Structure 1
Amino acid sequence: MRFRYVLSEVLVGLWRNVTMTVAMIITMAVSLTMLGASFVLYRQVDQMKTWYYDRIEVSIFLSKDITDAQRQNIDASLTGDELVRSVEYENKEQAYTKFRELYADAPDLLSAVKPDQLPESFRVKLKDPQQYQLVFDKYKNTEGIDDIVDQRKLLNKIFDILGAIQTMALVAASIMAVAALMLVGNTIQVAAYSKRREVAVMKLVGASNWFIQSPFVLEAVVAGVVGAVLAFVGLVLSKWLLIDGSLQTLNQLLTPVHWSTIFATLPLMAAAGALISAVTAWVTLRFYIRV
């Protein structure tokens, strides 16, 4: 009987303040969408770091006047180095072939560069990419080596940009969360005020605070969960229409966003929406019922 009463009061309360309820749901949906997007971006940045760092190379460019003995000495040193996982030698012809593949859309540049202008190099993969500085210090003064380049420097700049975007998304989600908190609290106050006489009667007949508060709290929880579902639908559509649709070419540069990551946001957003709404409603009603 009590459950039916609470459920009926929740439905009546949601319909009675339908305009504010819709506004609360939309605000929750927007803030939770930002939260879910931040979660997806955070997962992708970590995944990209793992994927790219496992594949980055240290390029050791050789001098133009290097001798065969110096080349063999560098090859032997790198092959026997405990910091090195693999070594691949690239001669001038191979470097030129790769250059033509990379800049196939720039014929003027291709015509200006000749095969003998590109340096020989060793493409070195480290067991731990974070130990680049040790390798650099060890080989920088070796005869026959012209320059040592770490691809991680470029990747770190890219990850810094992605990290900044992630931070911006979290800040936007936090601002929207504050707006949602204020709107939830205001909605609950209006709902409680519209039923102030019923609340006064229930208090006079000895109803517990929990029994009085539960319909209002559940109203906020329902709005939060509905907002989470809408936010999840928004992320699904973004994955389907944007990531796998018009922005599909980015998959050549970025690691793919898996559906498992998108589905993992639903319980996160539902829990966050329900918890934020419930706590806000409970705190608001605590002050109201004390009056």
Structure 2
Amino acid sequence: MRAHFLLSEVLNGLRRNVTMTIAMILTTAITLGMFGGGLLVIQMADKSQKIFLDRVEMQFFINDAVSEADPNCREAPCSVLRTDIENEPGVGSVTFIDRKEAFEQAKQTFKDNPDIADNIREGTIPASLKVRMSDPEQFGAVLDKYSDRKDLGVDGVLDQRQLVQRIFSVLDGTRNAAFAIAIVLAVAAILLIVNTVQIAAFTRRTEVSIMRLVGATRWFTQLPFLLESVVAALIGAFLAIGGLFTAKVLFFDNALRDLYGVNILARIGVSDVLFVSPWLIIGAILLSGVTAYVTLRVYVRE
């Protein structure tokens, strides 16, 4: 009987304040959607980092004098450099790329950009040692140790960590922006819930007074208002979850298709959205439930 009464009170309350209820649902949905988007970006960054750590390389370029005297890196100082790097902790493999192979790789890299490819001449691309790490944690130590070894023929170095850092700085900025917007919207949602609860309590003050006179507890009379807020927030949460699935298809799958194809960014899948979804539902319950409860305790005395 009490459950039926509470259900009817909640439904009646949502209908009476339909415009504010809709506003609260939409505000909550956008807030949770931005928060969920930030969580998806974090998941993408974490998985992308693993991709880069598995394949990140450094490349030591050999100066022209050493390359001309020893084109196959079989003599000192090139062979000494190669052996020393191979013996470093955390190094997985060291591959020597001679000038001819470097030229062919450069032509292949810029085959879709003929203006650049036509200007690449054989012999202008230096030979190099390409180093892949088995332990990414040792990357910086090896790079710092050999980047200035001009005595061993090192003429320059390519550090792919710079590219990785730029990509992750963009992801971090996107995540932070999503969280910042979510915080602002959360404040707006809290204020909207406070106003909605106060108005609902004021419009039904006569009914509440009668219920208290016939012995209803304060908690029982205030529970419908709290449930109204939670129900509206849960509707907003499910809208937010639907929005994330839509964003996955329209943004993550379409806009980032090229980056997925070259394995630069990790793909966001349905499982990632499903992993985030329960947190949005929990967030909706906490946001609305706590706000409504505090509002009732502070502003509604009867």
Q: Same fold (TM over 0.5)?
A: yes
Equivalent residues of 1:132, 1:150 under 8 A apart:
no
Aligned to 2:130: 123
Q: 2:88, 2:142 within 8 Å by CA — same for their partners in 1?
A: no
- Is 1:164 the counterpart of 2:164? The answer is no
Q: Which amino acid aligns with 2:60?
A: I
Deviation at 1:111, TM superposition (A): 1.9
Q: Is contact 2:48–2:266 with CA below 8 Å preserved after alignment?
A: yes
Question: In the alignment, what sits opposite 2:81?
Answer: 74
Paired residue secondary structure (2:55): coil
CA contact (8 A) 2:33 2:240 kept: yes
The structural deviation recorded for 1:241 is 2.7
Please list every run of 5 or more consecutive structure 2 residues that lacks an aligned counterpart in the other structure. Answer: none
Tell me the equivalent position of 1:114: 121
> What is the aligned counterpart of 1:226 among 211, 235, 245?
235
Say whether residues 1:38 and 2:38 are aligned partners: yes
> 1:131 deviation in Å?
2.8
Partner of 1:210: 219
Q: Which moved more, 1:81-90 or 1:51-60?
A: 81-90
> Aligned to 2:174, what secondary structure does the other structure show?
helix
Structure 1 position 258 matched with structure 2 position 269: yes
> In 2, distance between residues paired with 1:78 and 1:47?
29
CA deviation after TM superposition for structure 1 residue 161, in Å:
1.9
Could you say what secondary structure the match of 2:182 adopts? helix
Per-residue CA deviation, residues 105-150 of structure 1 (Å, 9 max, x unaligned), is 2222222221211011111112333433321343232422111222
Quote the offset at 1:247 in angstroms. 4.0
1:20 aligns with 2:29: no
> Could you list the runs of 4 or more consecutive aligned residues of structure 1 that deviate by over 3 angstroms after TM superposition?
none
Q: Report the Cα distance in structure 2 between the residues aligned to 1:86 and 1:211, rounded to whole angstroms.
A: 70
- CA RMSD for the aligned pairs? 1.6
In structure 1, the residue matched to 2:152 is 143
Who is 2:295 aligned against? 284
One of 262, 281, 284 as aligned partner of 1:270: 281
Equivalent residue letter for 1:173: A
**Partner of residue 4, structure 1:** 4
AA at the equivalent of 1:117:
T
| CA deviation after TM superposition for structure 1 residue 218, in Å | 0.6
Q: Please give the alpha-carbon distance, in whole angstroms, between the structure 2 residues aligned to 1:110 and 1:246.
A: 28
Using the TM superposition, give the Cα deviation of residue 179 of structure 1 relative to its aligned residue in structure 2, in angstroms: 0.4
Aligned counterparts of 1:109 and 1:249: Cα–Cα separation in 2: 22
When normalised by structure 1's length, the TM-score is 0.95
Distance 1:177 1:283 in 2: 16
Aligned residue for 1:88?
95
Deviation, structure 1 residue 203: 2.2
CA–CA separation in structure 2 for the residues paired with 1:238 and 1:137: 42
Cα offset, 1:261, TM superposition? 0.5
Structure 1 residue identity aligned to 2:194: G
Amino acid in the other structure paired with 1:199: V
Secondary structure of 2:156 counterpart: strand
Partner of residue 140, structure 2: 133
The CA distance in 2 between the partners of 1:79 and 1:247, in whole Å, is: 37
* Deviation for aligned residue 1:86: 1.5
- Worse-matched range after superposition: 187-196 or 198-207: 198-207
Gaps of 5+ in 1: none
SS in structure 2 at match of 1:290: coil
Return the alpha-carbon distance in structure 2 between the equivalents of residues 98 and 175 of structure 1: 50
What is the identity percentage for the equivalent residue pairs of Structure 1 and Structure 2?
Answer: 37
Structure 2 residue identity aligned to 1:41: V
State which drifts further: 41-50 or 168-177.
41-50
Cα deviation digits, residues 158-189 of structure 1 (max 9, x gap)? 21121111111100000001001111111111
Specify the code of the residue in structure 2 equivalent to 1:27.
T
For normalisation by structure 2, the TM-score amounts to 0.91
Q: 2:29, 2:145 → 1: CA distance?
A: 54
Q: Give 2:118's aligned amino acid.
A: S
